[in-house]
Structure 1
Amino acid sequence: MIKIGITGGIGSGKSVIASLLELSGVPVYIADTESKQLTETSPVIREKLTALFGETLYTAEGLDKKQLASHIFGNPERLKEVNAIIHPEVNRHFQAWADKQDTPLCAIESAILFESGFNRVVDVSLMVYAPMEVRIRRVLERDAASREEVIRRIGSQLPDEVKKEKSDYVIFNDGKQALLPQVTAFLEKLRSR
């Protein structure tokens, strides 16, 4: 089985490409969704996070997200510690999920494919690229955020040029080039390997 890693910055259209892959018969693991779920339900993550931040981090309702955010916001060292707890569990969960797939291809969608090390468990990396202004416009239309906040969020991610350089394939989601032919060509390349 060939494992594909889908990445791209906020507003690039990773979710659209993930959907097109799913429609083409490629199961896709959404790392962001799964990591949130695992942070709520994984006993390993819970134990390690409470050891780091105290028993009050989890309530009867689950993870106190505001408290966790207060610990890591503006504190890169704490964020690194939290990621070192969560990323290995997401990685294990993805591997177990991938092992259950009965298809020649499967994928993981992750905005932080390279930063998290998930790129080391996939065979091929696919970056979804969109120009900065297109990304800003998409996020402004989607989220209740200011332009400054969107730019700050984009600035906190690995730059597009670095992601492009590290990726095996790039799909351009600029609103001008059709996506389906690019996805089809990408899948044909993989299937003919």
Structure 2
Amino acid sequence: MKIKPIIGILGGIGSGKSMVAACFAGVGCGVLDADALAHDILNEPVVLTAMVGRWGGDVLDDAGGVNRRWIAEKVFDSPRELNFLNGLVHPRVLKRFEVAIETYQADPDICGIVLDMPLLLEVGWGEKCDFLIFVDCSEKKRAERITKNGKIDIEQLKKRENVQISLDKKKQKAHYRVNNNSDESDVAEQVAQIFSNITESSQ
């Protein structure tokens, strides 16, 4: 069985990493979405119990589910609380990623594996990637995107990025860059060319 390349996506919040990952899916790659997995994991009983035990009932919304906005405000104001949350979530995400990577490696219809993981380098998974892609996007565009989707504001963006490896360092580590200051069709063309280069170099 030929080993498929593992591709990690890097970039700032609102840069369009998930769009780039979707473009890789369009050329035949399997995509692993850490954010989606983390959302599922937050609702696991053992994780919920641990969070309620540490932070109390405010961690739950009116329906008894996870109040993600409250959690975000809590942890990004406190390195200690962020470390607690990461200690709960990251090992579980990484374990699921390992299983999914094995599954994709065995799938003949998948020609590459993409890791869409915001803290890819921070958790040490950059070393597991054969190629790193940096999604380059202006600060103005990123601000427009996060304001439009309403999930976080500019102040929260800065708090989150302050506890991450700098964008300059991520850019330096990347093998390729995708410019995401235009439209999705242009991004898709860039991704197709990059993946063609990757498959050629992997032969």
TM-score exceeds 0.5: yes
**Alpha carbons of 1:151 and 1:187: their partners in 2 closer, same or farther (altered >3 Å)?**
same
For 1:27 and 1:42, locate their aligned partners in 2 and report how far apart those are by CA, in whole Å. 29
For 2:69 and 2:140, locate their aligned partners in 1 and report how far apart those are by CA, in whole Å. 30
Letter in 1 for 2:6: K
Q: CA deviation at 1:53?
A: 2.1
1:174 corresponds to which residue?
181
1:93 corresponds to which residue?
96
Q: CA deviation at 1:149?
A: 4.5
TM-score of the aligned structures, taking structure 2 as reference length: 0.78
Letter in 1 for 2:85: V
For 1:91 and 1:153, locate their aligned partners in 2 and report how far apart those are by CA, in whole Å. 20
Unpaired stretches in structure 2, ≥5 consecutive residues: none
1:133 corresponds to which residue?
140
Q: CA deviation at 1:10?
A: 1.1
Answering whether residue 121 of structure 2 is matched by residue 114 of structure 1, we say: yes
Question: Number of residue pairs matched?
Answer: 191
Q: Which moved more, 1:182-191 or 1:60-69?
A: 60-69
For 1:135 and 1:81, locate their aligned partners in 2 and report how far apart those are by CA, in whole Å. 28
For 2:120 and 2:23, locate their aligned partners in 1 and report how far apart those are by CA, in whole Å. 19
Kept after mapping to 2: 8 A contact 1:140/1:150: no
Q: CA deviation at 1:144?
A: 5.9
State the percentage of identical aligned residues: 24
Q: Structure 1, residues 94-117: CA drift from partner, whole Å, max 9, x if none?
A: 110111111231111012211122
1:190 corresponds to which residue?
198
Kept after mapping to 1: 8 A contact 2:11/2:135: yes
Kept after mapping to 2: 8 A contact 1:136/1:151: no
Unpaired stretches in structure 1, ≥5 consecutive residues: none
For 2:127 and 2:37, locate their aligned partners in 1 and report how far apart those are by CA, in whole Å. 18
TM-score of the aligned structures, taking structure 1 as reference length: 0.81
**Alpha carbons of 1:71 and 1:149: their partners in 2 closer, same or farther (altered >3 Å)?**
closer
SS at match of 2:132: strand
Letter in 1 for 2:100: W
Computed over aligned residues only, the root mean square deviation of the Cα atoms, in angstroms, reads 3.0
SS at match of 2:121: helix
1:2 corresponds to which residue?
5
What does 1:1-193 correspond to in 2, within 5 Å?
1-41=4-44, 43=46, 45=47, 49=50, 53=54, 61=64, 63=66, 65=68, 68-69=71-72, 72-101=75-104, 102=107, 103-143=110-150, 146-175=153-182, 178-192=186-200, 193=202
